[in-house]
Chain A
C-alpha cells in the first residue's frame, strides 16, 4: 500500500509531519482554488449561533492554508486535503457553494459514505478543531473564543512564536 492510499483508505488519522516538502506553484494554485469550498465545509461544520465560535469568525481557512503549506507539514496530507476538495467539487458538479444548508448536509453525508470522503471530512474537521482550540498565536481562536466556549484555557507559559522556530 502506498502512503497516499493509506491516507485515503485507512481509518487511522494523525500521521506525522515531514520536512523538505517541495511546494509547487501548481499546488499553491490548487489550494487557492479549493479554499472557498473548504471554507464552506468548515462553516457547515462550525456554523454561526452554535455553542462553539463559527469557522468564519475564527478565520479557520487561513489557519488551514498556513498550516498545510508550512514546511513542517506532511506533504502527502497537504495533497490529500486539496484532492479531497476537488473530489467533492466533482461529486457536486461544481455547485457546492451555491447549495443551501440542507443540500450541503446531504452532499457531505453522501461523501462521508465513502471511505475516502469520510477520511477527508475527518481531516478537515481536525484541521478546524486545531484552529479553534490552538493558541491564538496561530491566528485562529481569536480572543480565545474557542477556549472560552468550552470553559478551558491553554497552559502557561503560552508560546511566543509558532512551532518555536522549527
Chain B
C-alpha cells in the first residue's frame, strides 16, 4: 500500500471539505469510508428503502451504541439493538450530507463568545471559542460558493455580517404559502427570512439545478442539486487525480508513537481483510461521537487514556441540538390568501425561517439566548403520513373509516411544520466513553453515550414553541401542536473534542490539531465547545475548509 500525504477518516461534510482543499493543492490524499458509494443515478425516491429500512446505516445487531439515560436516580445503559434508537447517520460515501434537507444558517458572531456575552449558567460548561466569527467568515463564504448555497442577502439584526454582497445563486422556488406566511408574520411584528439552502436553483458545473422532486430530506439527490460532500467536494477532488477514495474501509484504530500517528488499521467491510494505511498526517472526520470513540480505541502505552487525551477532556461536553418541533394543518375550507390548489402544488419549498428570537432581551421575558426556527411543509412521505392518521384515542382506526380519514387528510389539508434550534448546553452528564464489554462485529469496543439535557434548554425551547404556534394560528392552521423534548436529535451531534488555547482544558488547538500529537487533526463537529442555535452543517463545512488551509501550511513546511 502506498504512503499518502494525508489520510482522512470519514467522507462526509468535513472529510469532503478537507479532501477538496488538499487535493486541489496537489497533495496525495486517501479518504477512508466504511460505507459504499451510491451514485447519483442510483438515488431513487424509494420511501420503503431510504426511510423505513436501514439501507444507509449498519445493522444495530452488528454495530451499535450504548445510550445511558437517567432513570430515577440511576444511570441506565441500553444497547441500541434493544431500543432500535440508531445513532448512525448516512454511512455512505458523502455521509449524511447526502440526506440533509439543506436548510442552513451561519452561526452568529456572539455564538463564538457565549460566555462573555451571557455569562455562566449554573450546571453548564459554557466557554468562549478560541477564534472569532471574523476568522470563520471567509470560510462561510467559501462554503457558500463551493457547496452552492442558494438564498438572498437580507438585513436583520441577528443576521451575521457577510463579506460578499449576495449569495451565488437565487433562492429555490417557493410555494405560494409563503404569501400567507409572510403576511401572518408581519401581522405579528415578526420578520420572515428566506432560508439559505444547500440546494442549487441553477446548474453549477457538473451538477444540475433542483427539479423539485417533493422528496428532499432523508433522500439522496438525483440531480446533484443538493450540496452533499459527494457532489460538491469529492467528485471535484477525484478529478484532480490526487484522491484515493476507499469505500467499504472501516478504521478500527490508529497506531501511534508518543509523537505521531503512524498508520490507520482498517478492515475491509466486505472481505474482512485487515490493512494498515500510512500517511504523514491523519484527519478524523467520522462524526463527533465516532471520532471520539476512534481516539479512545487507539489507546496504547504512550497514550493510555486514548489519543489526544492528556487533558482528560476527550469525549466530554458532547452536544446535540436542543429544541423540538411542531405543526398545524391548513385546511381547504378555511384557507386564507391563497388558493387550495396553489397550496397543494407539489415539490416547491417553504424556505422560511425566523431569527427574531435568536437573542431575547425583553422587559418581561428577560435576557437570554434564544434560537432559530425553520418552517417547512410536513415531509411528504406517503407511508408515514398515512400511518400518522390511523389511530384515535389510542385505538386503531380501520375499515371504511380509515379510508375516509386518510383520503381526507391527503386531499383536503396540508400541514406546515416548524423546527426549533436552540443551544444544547454542554454539561457534565453528556459525554462519550467506550465500553470494553460491548464490542462491534469488528471486535472493537462500542461508543457509550451518556445523554442529559440541561433544564435551561427546555425552557428556551418551550418559549420559542409558543411563539411559533402563534404564527401558525395567525395563518389559520388547525390542530396545532408542538413537542419540546430533552431527547437528542441523533443526526445533530457535535462536541467531545473541544478546541481551545489551553492544552489543560481542551483536546484540540485553535486549528483543530491535537494538542498532544502534531500530525493528528479532527475536522468534524466534535471541535465545537458550544453549538450555536442553528443546524451545524454550514459551520462544519466552513471549519473544515479552515482546518484544511492550516494543514496545507503544515504540509508545505514538511
How distant is the Cα of A19 from the Cα of B44 in the complex, in angstroms? 22
Q: Which of A94-142 contact B (CB under 8 A)?
A: 105, 109, 112, 118, 121-122, 125-126, 129-130, 132-135, 137-138
How many whole Å from B101's CB to the nearest CB in chain A? 14
Q: Which residue of B lies closest to A75 (CB)?
A: B61
Give the residues in chain A near B387, CB-CB below 8 Å.
Answer: 125-126, 129
Looking at the assembled complex, report how far the CB atom of B115 sits from the nearest CB atom of chain A, in whole angstroms. Answer: 38
Inter-subunit contact A130/B48 (CB<8 Å): yes
Verify if A3 is at the interface (C-beta below 8 Å from B): yes
- What is the 8 Å Cβ interface bit string for chain B, positions 405-422, against chain A (1 contact, 0 not)? 011011100000000000
Which of B281-289, B390-398, B479-487, B503-511 lines the interface with chain A?
A: B390-398
Please indicate the chain B residues that have their CB under 8 angstroms from the CB of A122 in the complex: 391, 396
Taking a contact as CB atoms closer than 8 A, the residue among A12, A14, A125 that contacts B396 in the complex is A125
A121 with B61: CB separation less than 8 A: no
Chain A 36-67, CB within 8 Å of chain B: the 1/0 string? Answer: 00000000111101111000000000000000
Minimum CB–CB distance from A141 to chain B (whole Å) comes to 9
B361 within 8 A of A: no
A interface, over-half SS: loop
Interchain CB contact (< 8 A) of A19 among B46, B61, B386: B61
Assembly CA distance A154 to B395 (angstroms): 28
Which residues of chain A come closer than 8 Å to B411, judged between CB atoms? 150-151
Structural contact, B45 and A72, CB atoms closer than 8 A: no
- Are B398 and A154 closer than 8 Å at their CB atoms? no
Residues on B with C-beta less than 8 A from A20 are 59, 61-62
Is the Cβ of B400 less than 8 Å from the Cβ of A49?
yes
Closest to A21 in B: B61
Most chain B beta-carbon contacts within 10 A, residue among A2, A17, A20, A155: A155
Contact between B44 and A158, CB atoms less than 8 A apart = yes
When chains A and B are docked, how far (Å) is the Cα of A134 from the Cα of B44? 13
Residues in B whose Cβ lies below 8 Å from that of A17: 53-54, 59
Question: Which chain B residues lie closer than 8 Å to A73 at the CB level?
Answer: 53
Interface size for chain A: under 10, 10 to 19, 20 to 34, or 35 or more residues? 35 or more
Give the CA-CA distance A109 to B49 in the complex, in Å: 32
CB distance from B32 to the nearest CB of A (A): 22
Cβ–Cβ < 8 Å partners of A150 in chain B = 382, 386, 406-407, 409-411
**B81 in the interface (beta carbon within 8 A):** yes
B45 touches A157 (CB 8 A): yes
Interface segment among B193-201, B211-219, B290-298: the answer is B211-219
Which residues of B lie under 8 Å from residue A50 when comparing CB positions?
399-400, 402-404
Bound-complex Cα distance A73 to B60 (A) = 12
In contact, A159 and B52 (Cβ under 8 angstroms): no
Q: A3-B81, A19-B62, A151-B411 are in contact. Are A129 and B383 (CB under 8 A)?
A: yes
B residues in contact with A157, CB < 8 Å: 41, 43-45, 222
- Of the candidate stretches B9-17, B82-90, B143-151, the one touching chain A is B82-90
Q: A12-B84, A18-B61 are in contact. Are A163 and B49 (CB under 8 A)?
A: yes
A93 within 8 A of B: no
CA–CA, A81 and B242, complex, Å: 51
> Is A14 touching B84 in the complex (CB atoms < 8 A)?
yes
Q: Is the CB of B53 within 8 A of A163?
A: yes
Residue among B48, B57, B86, B396 with the highest chain A CB neighbour number at 10 A: B48
Q: Are B49 and A159 in contact (CB under 8 A)?
A: yes
Q: Which residues of the partner chain A approach B391 to less than 8 Å between Cβ atoms?
A: 122
Q: CB of B121 within 8 A of chain A?
A: no
Could you tell me the distance in whole angstroms from the C-beta of A162 to the nearest C-beta in chain B?
8
5 contacts between A and B (CB under 8 A): A112-B396, A137-B46, A156-B222, A157-B222, A164-B55
Known: A47-B399, A157-B41. 8 other contacts (CB 8 A): A12-B83, A112-B396, A129-B383, A134-B383, A149-B407, A152-B382, A157-B222, A164-B38
**6 nearest interchain CB pairs?**
A155-B45, A15-B84, A51-B403, A50-B403, A155-B215, A150-B410
List the interface of chain A (C-beta within 8 A of B): 1-3, 6, 12, 14-20, 44-47, 49-52, 72-73, 105, 109, 112, 118, 121-122, 125-126, 129-130, 132-135, 137-138, 147, 149-152, 154-160, 162-164, 166
